[in-house]
Each structure stands twice: as C-alpha cells, then as structure tokens.
Amino acid sequence: MAIHKLALIRYKTIDDCLRNRFKKWTLDDLIEKVSETLYELEGITSGVSKRTIQADIQLMRSDKLGYNAPIVVKDKRFYAYEDSSFSITKVPINAMDVDKMKEIVGVLKQFNAFNYFDEMSDMIARLENSLHKSTQQSGNNIQLEGNKLVKGLGCIPPLYQAILNKKALLITYKSFKAQAEKQQIYFPYLLKEYRNRWFLIAKAKKGKILLTLALDRIVEFQELPNEEFVPYQGVDFERYYGDLIGVTKSEKDRPQKVILEFDNYHAPYVITKPIHQSQVLLAQKEKTTIFRIDVILNYELEREILGFGECVKVHAPRILVAKIKRRLANAAKRYETEESKTSMVKAADQQQD
C-alpha cells in the first residue's frame, strides 16, 4: 500500500499531538495543528478538511499500515492514546517486513560502491545488526557481479560529495596513453559505472566538451573552494547516455542504425537480454535472426559485438562492418603466428633429437 508524503506528515502530526498529555485535543485542534504543519513544511495554504483527519484517525487505528493505534475519545470530545507510551514511531516491525528488509540488506551489501559510502555502509551495518537481533540470520539468496580489486573505488564518496555540493576539483590524471600525469581544474557532473569500472563525467575549466575520466586513472584530487563552479548546461544525462553502450561519447556523436544477424541458437539470448534498449527484431529466417539497435559507434559497442564471436555478423553501417572485419582478421593472425612459432619449435626439437 503506497503512502503519500502528505499523508505521512498528517499521521506524524496527529501522533505528536496525541503523545502530548499536557493538552486535551479536540478534532478542531487536530485539524488546526495539521494545517499549520502542512503550511510550514509544504507551503500548503488550503489547510485540511475534517473528513480527512477523521479518515486518518480511522486508518491509524486499523492494521492496514501496521499502526493499530489505541486512539480513544474521552468525554465524547477529546482524542488521546489509551496507552500513554504509544507512538506510531515505536510500532514493531512485523515478520514479513523483517524478511523483506533482510533481502534488501543482502542485495545492498553486494554492491561494491556501497562499501565506500561511509554513511550508507554505517546505516546498512546498523540495520543488519537490528535484523540479526530480531530473527535468525540466513544466507543470501542473491549474488551480484562485483570486483573488489578495481582501483579508484575509494574516490567515489568525495567525488559524489563534490558533485552534490557543486565544487570545482583540481585533478591529477594519467590516461593509459599518456606518458606523464596532467593536472587540470575540472567541474564534476556525474559518476557513471560500466562493467564494474567507474567514471567521472566532467568538463575541464579550459575546455568546452564533456570528458570521461576513469576513476582508476585519477592519481589524486582536491576541492577548490575558491574556484567558481560552472554548472552543466547540456541535455539531461539520461537522454545524453540513452543511445550509448558504455561511456565513450562526444557531444557531437549521433546514433546510427546497427544491423546485426545472429544464428538462431543464440538469438533467444539476445531477445531475452537485449544489447540495447533500442533493440528491435527485424526478421526471423530459417537459420538466423536479424536485429537493429540505434546507438553511438564506439569501442564498447565493438567489444560487445566481438564478444559474440562467430555467432554474429554485422550488416550495417559499413564503417562498423569494416572495423569488425579488421579486428577479427587481426585476431586470427595472432593465432596463425602462434601456430607458426609452435611448428618452428617442434621442428627445432626434432632436429636436436
């Protein structure tokens, strides 16, 4: 049963009133107090109706939300808790709720990033401890992919705070291709994860384009409190990355129609686990199935396609066809070279014998 935010405010306000034993609360008093609270917290000036408060009291008395509040009417006028120590904030968690919370804790603990959000890790530990006390702990029934050896995960909490608080950063960065470290001022906008690697989406102070910085290539960084932060003015990131596999993209890139033909043995896998959200099935033949995705052409897309090996053939666009053919040919050459070396070693051994 979903609970509206305003309803929660009303329940909490009524609860606060009834816990106050030094005042007798009429229905009109409760209406007035709830109206004041809604105005203070939400800016609502229309107040609240008598019917709404009466319905709230009935709901709080019931077990629909698990409150079972002992609300009584004294002298046919004043509302109060029959049990003076009662509060809806002290309602014990039922067994079903405990089981659900245990499942959630088990899932959260397996996300690597949560190990590095200090506040979140502390909250999970406290929640887990409380659940241990309430029931016998059982093993996890779900296991998620993770890699604790990935470098740079320790950067996540301070980078997240810098994004949240709009702080400029002085970052020392060394890309895989660079021979030396480079230090620049950046404005951080987004943390993005792809296949257990984390990336910072940012703009350099002296640049105009979005940059993707791998966290495992960040040498060090620090906040610059006196540097004015330049906010991101582009499209929403959900849209910006909506046509992308991975993280590699420039603001000038546009999606292209990628046509892929899979053998029918592997086609069901592609159907049940789409390569991209834009995927559509174009045709089913006797031995193959053809799909289309509309995505940016990048390195991650190539890796995704190459991961299917001989089970897939790229039909379009031509530039992608050429790249995949070239990479497969280069891979084949490696094996040809290895076979030649093996033959030479065997021949040499035979001559020695």
The answer on 43 and 102 residing in a single domain is no
Which helix (H) or strand (E) element contains residue 291? strand 288-295
The string over 162-197, giving b where at least 16 C-beta atoms fall within 10 Å of a residue's C-beta and e elsewhere, is bbeeebbbebebeeeeeeeeeebbbbbbbbbebeeb
pTM > 0.75: no
Q: Give the pLDDT of residue 108.
A: 61
Q: What does the alpha-carbon distance between residue 325 and residue 335 come to, in Å, rounded to a whole number?
A: 16
The CB density around residue 275, as the number of other CB atoms within 10 Å, is: 19
The answer on 226 and 157 residing in a single domain is yes
The answer on 286 and 313 residing in a single domain is yes
Condensed to tens digits (0 to 9), the pLDDT of residues 156-174 reads: 888 988 998 999 999 999 9
Condensed to tens digits (0 to 9), the pLDDT of residues 27-80 reads: 999 999 999 999 998 889 999 999 999 999 999 999 888 788 999 999 999 999
Sign of CA dihedral 115, 121, 125, 131: negative
The answer on 120 and 187 residing in a single domain is no
What is residue 78's three-state secondary structure? Answer: strand
Q: What is the CATH number of the domain that holds 62?
A: 1.10.10
Q: What does the alpha-carbon distance between residue 285 and residue 289 come to, in Å, rounded to a whole number?
A: 6
Condensed to tens digits (0 to 9), the pLDDT of residues 234-248 reads: 888 999 999 999 998
Domain count, the chain: 4
Domain of 118 in residue numbering reads as: 95-134
DSSP state of 219: E
